Amino acid sequence: STWTFISHSTMNISKSGYRVFSANSTTACTELAKKITERLGVDLGKSVVYQESNRETRVDVKESVRGQDIFIIQTIPRDVNTAIMELLVMAYALKTNCAKNIIGVIPYFPYSKQCKMRKRGSIVCKLLASMLAKAGLTHIITMDLHQKEIQGFFSFPVDNLRASPFLLQYIQEEIPDYRNAIIVAKSPSAAKRAQSYAERLRLGLAVMHGEAQCSESDMADGRHSPPPMSSGRTTSGHPGLELPLMMAKEKPPITVVGDVGGRIAIIVDDIIDDVEDFVAAAEILKERGAYKIYIMATHGLLSAEAPRLIEESAIDEVVVTNTVPHEVQKLQCPKIKTVDVSMILAEAIRRIHNGESMAYLFRNITVDD
């Protein structure tokens, strides 16, 4: 009877064994991890992550992780590459110390914009996915990937949670008279996301297209830099072969499809980083008669001069979630507001550990969202 008692107690330990670590060396980045552990009612795992004097990343895990489910919460600060290295080293340390499962909680997945093939470039996002798998991750929880297809880069399960329920709730509770609003996509590529918001809030939809004349957004494509013609050698593969030439794009000046006059304009997007596009869009919406302009985005990267530009612009409020730390930017610009999404991340961690269905977190989410 003594023996059965011991075996039962050890079984319970293995069932309840999960730890939540943060792999960030900066304090601003551990804020989200602290919020999540508070909601779960557990302590943050004991580990030390630091940069040595020669800038090498060192990770010391200070407690046993053998046979446990380990969740690493990694928020991505300014210094993206250091954060990635911290995550890789932490995951590999846990793998080496016999953790059963290593689940990365990466609310904003870095390099997610580099997910398409460019001329003589590479798909960096796929490289990062392979590196994370190699380091020992067995599952990832993330939020609003830049493209949903990025999930296919991974060799293990990815849960791509949505922040839109929190942002929709903000619109309904914090924007007075939101029924007089119109959802705006600042480019045709953002139209699908905007449509999803418009249909859920039962509001109208406006789409902006074209570009500010003299914009350089397409210059990076390499199509304005044909290879120099080498003399004495035909560039085509065969002298008699004339391939049809792809016509160069000519974008019209910015136009707004949909009426925003006398409305509150709510621009929705997934990432707000360089704000020049948003500021330009806000100016045009103001000219077209919108009397208030909000911007809703999941990831507020807000790099470089973003806070100052927002402060000086026609934008009334920028609402982002706390997937990326932006306390410094908020001090520079009071127009930036934060919505806390730690609740859904904590629930995802709890469900994955307990082996419960994740479907509850994806209810009412369609293929297009």
| Tens-place pLDDT, residues 152-192 | 999 999 999 999 999 999 999 999 999 999 999 999 999 99
* Angle of CA points 296, 300, 305, to nearest 5°: 110
170 φ/ψ angles, rounded to the nearest 5 degrees: -60, -45
Asked if residues 186 and 281 have their Cβ atoms less than 8 Å apart, the reply is: yes
Its pTM stands at 0.87
pLDDT in tens, 15-54: 558 999 999 888 888 999 999 999 999 999 999 999 999 9
Q: Which residue has the higher pLDDT, 127 or 364?
A: 127
Taking alpha carbons only, the member of 104, 101, 113 closest to residue 131 is 104
> What's the whole-number average pLDDT of the chain?
88
Asked if residues 292 and 316 have their Cβ atoms less than 8 Å apart, the reply is: yes
Identify the pLDDT of residue 333: 92
